Homo-oligomer: A and B are copies of this chain.
Amino acid sequence: MTEIIRPTLVIDKDKCLQNIEKMAQKAKDYQLRFRPHFKTHQSAIIGDWFRLFGVEAITVSSVKMAEYFFKHGWDDITIAFPVNIPEITNINRLAANIKLNVLVENKEGAMALADKINHPLGVYVKIDTGHNRTGINSSRTGIIDNVIQILTKNKKLKFKGFLSHTGQTYYARSTNEIFSSHFDALLKMQSLKRRFSTKYPDIEVSLGDTPSCTLCTNFNGIDEIRPGNFIFYDLMQQSLGVCDFDDIAVRLVCPVVSKHPSRNEIVIYGGAIHLSKEFLLNVAAKPYYGRIVIDIDGEKKMLGERNYVMRLSQEHGILRVSQKNFHLINVGDLIEIIPIHSCLTANMAGSYLTTEGEVIPMINT
């Protein structure tokens, strides 16, 4: 820690391993294939940590990420993003080398695959179970059938089943709402599977956001889960009731550069290009961009909720720190910020440092 001179994303490897182990065990208990989403960490070395728990299949969110993890030895990859037609040559090239799955949700995507793919490729139909971002509404079985029909024109394409992301759990106002969104998605996917399995008997259902996968205990009819964020967790997950502060495995370590006692503000080197501008609202409905952890006599202490990152510019973070704690943080100190959204924070880090001092490169390092 004492060698850190600029904003550095530090991860606690033991916590990461615990988080992975817990989720892998849960998947095993419910007889689900565990296909973790690697968009959260985007690192080949961290990817290898999953192998310790028997993971052999992964999810990514772009062709570029699939290419990166293929280069690092992964040969069973689902690109959980609507097929991007301009990248079809890259998809075809990957399909020649590994077990690859992609998602379709419209005729255009299906036709592009049917026309251009000449290596074995798994295709899931992306279903919208209420998140309203991507996917075909689960009730539109006519459209779903049309899309599947197009796929069957190309013998290299294998219709694998239905995939959904219950992302509405991120807007839940209580853990009950997470349970209910998950259960609703479950019913919709079960019903689709039943309907189409007469014609396609071996189709599968893939679900799995971090909130549902962490909290829920009913996975009937589900074959695979794809959570990603759980390896690090973050304040968003904590505020949803999905994890405890103590489960969060990632922190941005930042030098303190300035103190402004007249307005209870402290300035750190660590801004929007390190944390991202993702925010949550505090009890006073004010946005905040992270919580503060400091070192008191060798012991880490998270300051109370009246202490937070209140504003970000490109490289600056402005902390609001209560009168009581103000003297605990001084110019030249290193403090730790717990990020709101670990995926976006990690994406900008370039690399990680573990609490044990190991530098871990990631995709763009």
Q: Give the interface of A toward B (CB within 8 A).
A: 4-6, 39, 61-64, 81-87, 90, 105-106, 108-109, 112, 132-134, 137, 167, 255, 257-260, 262-263, 265, 267, 269, 272-273, 276-278, 311, 313-316, 318, 330-332, 334, 343-344, 347-348, 350, 364
| CB–CB A278/B269 < 8 A | no
Which B residues are in CB contact (< 8 Å) with A257?
A: 81-85, 109, 134
Shortest distance between the CB of A64 and any CB in chain B (Å): 7
Shortest distance between the CB of A127 and any CB in chain B (Å): 13
Closest to A61 in B: B315
Would you give 25 A-B contacts (Cβ < 8 Å), ordered by A? A5-B84, A5-B86, A61-B314, A61-B315, A81-B316, A84-B269, A85-B255, A85-B257, A85-B332, A86-B255, A86-B332, A106-B258, A106-B259, A109-B258, A132-B265, A133-B267, A133-B316, A134-B258, A167-B313, A272-B276, A272-B278, A277-B277, A347-B348, A348-B348, A350-B364
Shortest distance between the CB of A327 and any CB in chain B (Å): 14
In the complex, A275 Cα to B63 Cα: how many Å? 19
Which B residues are in CB contact (< 8 Å) with A334?
A: 86
With A108-B330, A276-B276 as known contacts, state yes or no: A81 contacts B315, CB within 8 Å.
yes
State the main secondary structure of chain A at its contact with B. Answer: mixed
Which B residues are in CB contact (< 8 Å) with A255?
A: 84-87
| CB–CB B86/A344 < 8 A | no
| CB–CB B85/A134 < 8 A | no
- In the complex, which of the residues B39, B263, B277 contacts A315, with contact meaning CB atoms closer than 8 Å? B39
Closest to A340 in B: B277
Closest to A257 in B: B82
In the complex, A294 Cα to B87 Cα: how many Å? 20
Shortest distance between the CB of A349 and any CB in chain B (Å): 11
Shortest distance between the CB of A200 and any CB in chain B (Å): 23
- In the complex, which of the residues B86, B105, B267, B313 contacts A6, with contact meaning CB atoms closer than 8 Å? B86
Shortest distance between the CB of A287 and any CB in chain B (Å): 11
| CB–CB B267/A134 < 8 A | yes
Closest to A80 in B: B315
Closest to A165 in B: B313
The 3 A-B residue pairs whose C-beta atoms are closest, nearest first, are A108-B331, A5-B86, A85-B332
| CB–CB B6/A64 < 8 A | yes
| CB–CB B269/A318 < 8 A | no
Shortest distance between the CB of A136 and any CB in chain B (Å): 9
Which B residues are in CB contact (< 8 Å) with A87?
A: 5-6, 255
Which B residues are in CB contact (< 8 Å) with A39?
A: 314-315
| CB–CB B133/A318 < 8 A | yes
Beyond contacts A106-B259, A277-B344, A314-B347: 16 other A-B pairs, Cβ-Cβ < 8 A, are: A6-B84, A81-B316, A84-B255, A84-B257, A86-B332, A105-B258, A106-B331, A109-B331, A133-B318, A134-B257, A134-B267, A134-B316, A137-B262, A272-B344, A276-B276, A350-B364
In the complex, A12 Cα to B245 Cα: how many Å? 46
With A39-B314, A84-B5, A133-B267 as known contacts, state yes or no: A332 contacts B258, CB within 8 Å.
no
